[in-house]
């Protein structure tokens, strides 16, 4: 992780749109000038479960997995955070240590907003508060949908769901022949849907046989989007 030169929040497309666009000028400038930009390589830790929060993080570019570690060392990914999303809000608000860990899953640029600046914004800007409320309620909506899947869907359905989510949200890399692909380990995929990597591999194999995806090493090519939708909706 290394600091980068300053940069206005106005040029940070997605985060600006979702969180900061309605914040009035004085508060916006405070934010823009106080934030610290940091660059992380793939697989770097941003913060750790149990650590003390000093501020909040806002992703400028890249992806971060947010996860919890179970007793037996099994990791569960509660969320994959992307451009324009905030991380570490709960810990700041509650004053408790982080309840989750965060690690990059690709090269990522993150802005850090120190605690005192964050609280100045919440005191002074109702618009900022309302944006935070909306952001949290979206996270909650997603969490509830995923609870339902974990509770009542089969692994293959959850896998199809996860692939759809990933391909829609990941601006995935494109291959020379302009085919979309995902670059994610079977292990991370397993921890996202609550299963073992062997089981992920087996179902990816089935989908490959059915012509829905193609696999080349770690890369997963999505060939038939509507085939994935069918799997995610119906049993088996």
Q: Which residues bind DNA (CB under 7 A)?
A: 154-156, 185-187, 194-199, 201-202, 204-205, 215-219, 236
- Judge whether 200 and 190 are in contact, CB under 8 Å: yes
Shortest separation between residue 145's beta carbon and a second copy, angstroms: 8
Q: Does 116 sit near a second copy (CB under 8 A)?
A: no
CB of 194 to a second copy, least distance (A): 3
155 contacts a second copy (rule: CB under 8 A): no
The total number of residues written for the chain in this structure: 236
Per-residue CA distances from 43 to 36, 48, 71 (Å): 20, 13, 22
Does the protein bind a second copy through residue 71 (CB under 8 A)? yes
Give the range of 19-27, 101-109, 128-136, 199-207 binding a second copy by CB under 8 A.
128-136
The nearest distance, CB 155 to a second copy, in angstroms, is 11
Q: Which residue has the tokens 């913060």?
A: 47
Where do the DSSP E strands lie in the chain?
2-3, 36-40, 45-47, 55-61, 64-69, 75-81, 86-87, 101-104, 108-114, 181-183, 213-216, 219-222
* Minimal distance, residue 153 CB to a second copy, in Å: 8
User: Within 10 A of 119 (CB to CB), how many other CB atoms are there?
Assistant: 13
**Assigned token pair, 120:** 């100045």
Tokens of 28: 């916006």
Query: Of 80, 72, 70, which Cα lies nearest the Cα of 49?
Result: 70
Binding mask 179-208 for a second copy (x = CB under 8 A): --------------xx--------------
Site for a second copy, rule CB under 8 A? 68, 70-72, 74, 76, 78, 89-90, 93-94, 99-100, 122-123, 126, 129-130, 132-134, 136-141, 143-144, 146-148, 150-152, 193-194, 233, 235
């Amino acid at each position: 992780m290394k600091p980068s030169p300053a940069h206005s929040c106005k040029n940070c497309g997605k985060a600006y749109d979702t969180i900061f666009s309605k914040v009035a000028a004085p508060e916006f400038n405070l934010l823009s000038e106080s934030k610290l930009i940091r660059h992380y390589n793939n697989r770097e830790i941003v913060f750790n479960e149990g650590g003390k929060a000093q501020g909040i993080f806002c992703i400028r570019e890249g992806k971060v997995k947010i996860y919890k570690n179970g007793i037996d060392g099994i990791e569960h990914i509660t969320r994959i955070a992307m451009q324009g999303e905030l991380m570490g809000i709960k810990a700041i608000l509650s004053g408790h240590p982080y309840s989750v860990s965060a690690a990059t899953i690709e090269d990522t640029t993150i802005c850090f907003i120190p605690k005192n600046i964050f609280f100045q914004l919440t005191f002074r800007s109702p618009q900022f508060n309302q944006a935070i409320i909306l952001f949290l309620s979206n996270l909650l909506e997603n969490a509830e949908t995923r609870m339902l899947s974990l509770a009542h869907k089969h692994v293959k359905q959850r896998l199809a769901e996860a692939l759809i989510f990933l391909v829609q949200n990941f601006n995935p890399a494109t291959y020379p022949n302009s085919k979309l692909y995902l670059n994610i380990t079977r292990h991370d995929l397993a921890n996202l849907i609550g299963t073992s990597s062997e089981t992920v591999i087996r179902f990816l194999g089935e989908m490959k046989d059915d012509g829905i995806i193609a696999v080349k090493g770690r890369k997963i090519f999505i060939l038939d989007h509507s085939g994935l939708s069918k799997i995610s909706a119906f049993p088996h």
